[in-house]
């Protein structure tokens, strides 16, 4: 009896500090944000009403969903291409692919956004080069618009899309592929009718991760969108700091959490959490 009791107390004592820390520093203040959404500037459901009626808020929501959808499709496709080589290529190919995935992954989001500004801006590498070869006379507008946002976000999210795909491709049984080839299926046909369907869980996991990340993404859209292609996260920032409209910022946050929560629930219906690492 004494043993059982001390086990429980041991567990409680060890787990308490972190749980207490997160309750005080995270869960409790989140409830405060929820309270803001119902009380600022005036008590009531006014802020949630604005979410449904305000044209600006609506257009930002729609733009965010659109950008997130495009980024998801492009990132998962690009990640698929490089993951195939990372997981199933020869030793040298694997090393190069790993380098190309991990180096950007570890580099700060700001450095990466800056790199895209350096490439895409009017006097950036791409415009300078296209003008020098006489392909264009006026610089193309590649950044401070939705195109720049999509490019920057796709670049950021490809490595995140790689991990679930890699885990699905690693656990795939080679013999099935060899059997398909042995039975006379072409390379392409084996890929589309055997390889891709067998990595379905990885594709779903990867798409949902990228989509969820895109919804709350802040830094890249703010820099590469240049204030013209505002997404939800930047709207929250502007509501808090530029027009002290804390109630609306809080209400958008609450809706965002509920939406992401629903998507995560969906994710875990299809993919076991272990497959994601």
Partner 1 sequence: MPTYRPGPVSLILAALVALFLLMPLLAVIPVSLTPSRMLAMPTGELSLRHYRSLIEDPRWLQSILLSIRIGVVSSAISTVLALCFSLGVWMFQPRFTAALVGFVLLPMVVPPVVSAITLYFLLTSISGFSSFFGYDTWLGVAMAHSVMTVPFATVLILVSLSQLDRRIDLAARGLGATVWERATRIIMPNIKFGIITAALLSFVLSWEEIGVTLFITSVNAITLPRLMWMGLRDNIDPAIAALSVILIIITVLVLAVRSVMTRQRAGH
Show contacts with partner 1 in window 69-108 (CB under 8 A). 78-79, 81-82, 84-85, 87-90, 93, 96-104, 106-108
Residues 251, 237 contacting (CB under 8 angstroms) = no
Residue in 177, 198, 238, 275 binding partner 1, rule: CB under 8 A: 177
Tokens of 180: 């398909």
Q: Is 138 in the site for partner 1 (CB under 8 A)?
A: no
Q: Is 237 in the site for partner 1 (CB under 8 A)?
A: yes
Q: Is 66 in the site for partner 1 (CB under 8 A)?
A: no
Residue 66 Cβ, how far from partner 1 at the closest point, in Å? 17
Residue in 46, 50, 160, 181 binding partner 1, rule: CB under 8 A: 181
What three-state secondary structure class fits 137?
A: coil
φ/ψ of residue 184, rounded to 5: 100, 10
Q: Is 118 in the site for partner 1 (CB under 8 A)?
A: yes
Residue 213 Cβ, how far from partner 1 at the closest point, in Å? 8
Residues 142, 224 contacting (CB under 8 angstroms) = no
Alpha helices in the chain (DSSP H): 2-22, 28-39, 46-53, 55-88, 91-106, 109-120, 125-132, 146-170, 174-182, 187-190, 196-198, 200-215, 219-224, 232-241, 246-270
Nearer to partner 1, 3 or 43 (CB): 3
Q: Is 116 in the site for partner 1 (CB under 8 A)?
A: yes
Characterize 11-44 residue by residue with b for buried, 16 or more Cβ atoms within 10 angstroms of its Cβ, and e for exposed: eeeeeeeeeeeeeeeeeeeeeeeeebbbebeeee
Return the range that interacts with partner 1 (CB under 8 A); candidates 44-52, 53-61, 65-73, 119-127: 119-127
Q: Give the interface size with partner 1 as a residue count (CB under 8 A).
A: 92
In sequence order, which residues have a C-beta less than 8 Å from that of residue 141 and are 6 or more positions away?
Answer: 122
Q: Is 14 in the site for partner 1 (CB under 8 A)?
A: yes
Q: Considering only residues 153-172, where is the footprint of partner 1 by CB under 8 A?
A: 155, 158-159
The DSSP secondary structure of 145-175, one letter per residue, reads SHHHHHHHHHHHHHHHHHHHHHHHHHTS-HH
Q: Angle of helix 46-53 relative to helix 55-88, nearest 10 degrees?
A: 70
Q: Is 196 in the site for partner 1 (CB under 8 A)?
A: no
Residue 274 Cβ, how far from partner 1 at the closest point, in Å? 10
Return the range that interacts with partner 1 (CB under 8 A); candidates 49-57, 65-73, 133-141, 236-244: 236-244
Q: Is 244 in the site for partner 1 (CB under 8 A)?
A: no
Question: How far is the C-alpha of 163 from the C-alpha of 78, rounded, in Å?
Answer: 13
Q: Considering only residues 197-216, where is the footprint of partner 1 by CB under 8 A?
A: 212, 215-216
Q: Is 29 in the site for partner 1 (CB under 8 A)?
A: yes
Q: Is 240 in the site for partner 1 (CB under 8 A)?
A: yes
């Amino acid at each position: 009896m004494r043993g059982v009791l001390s086990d429980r107390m041991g567990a409680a004592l060890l787990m308490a500090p972190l749980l207490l820390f997160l309750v005080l520093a995270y869960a409790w203040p989140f409830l405060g944000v929820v309270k803001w959404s119902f009380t600022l500037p005036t008590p009531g459901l006014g802020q949630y009403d604005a979410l449904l009626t305000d044209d600006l808020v609506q257009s930002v929501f729609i733009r965010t969903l659109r950008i997130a959808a495009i980024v998801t499709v492009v990132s998962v496709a690009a990640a698929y291409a490089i993951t195939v080589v990372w997981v199933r290529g020869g030793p040298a190919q694997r090393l190069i692919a790993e380098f190309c995935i991990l180096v950007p992954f570890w580099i700060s989001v700001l450095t990466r956004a800056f790199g895209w500004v350096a490439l895409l801006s009017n006097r950036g590498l791409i415009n300078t080069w296209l003008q020098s070869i006489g392909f264009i006379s006026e610089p193309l507008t590649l950044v401070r618009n939705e195109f720049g946002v999509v490019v920057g976000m796709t670049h950021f999210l490809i490595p995140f899309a790689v991990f679930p795909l890699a885990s699905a491709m690693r656990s795939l049984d080679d013999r099935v592929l060899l059997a398909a080839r042995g039975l006379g299926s072409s390379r392409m046909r084996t890929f589309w009718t055997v390889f891709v369907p067998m990595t379905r869980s990885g594709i779903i996991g990867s798409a949902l991760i990228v989509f969820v990340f895109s919804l709350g993404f802040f830094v890249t859209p703010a820099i590469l969108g240049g204030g013209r292609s505002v997404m939800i996260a930047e709207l929250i920032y502007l509501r808090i700091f530029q027009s002290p409209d804390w109630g609306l910022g809080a209400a958008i946050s609450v809706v965002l959490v509920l939406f992401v929560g629903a998507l995560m629930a969906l994710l875990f219906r299809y993919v076991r959490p272990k497959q994601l690492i």
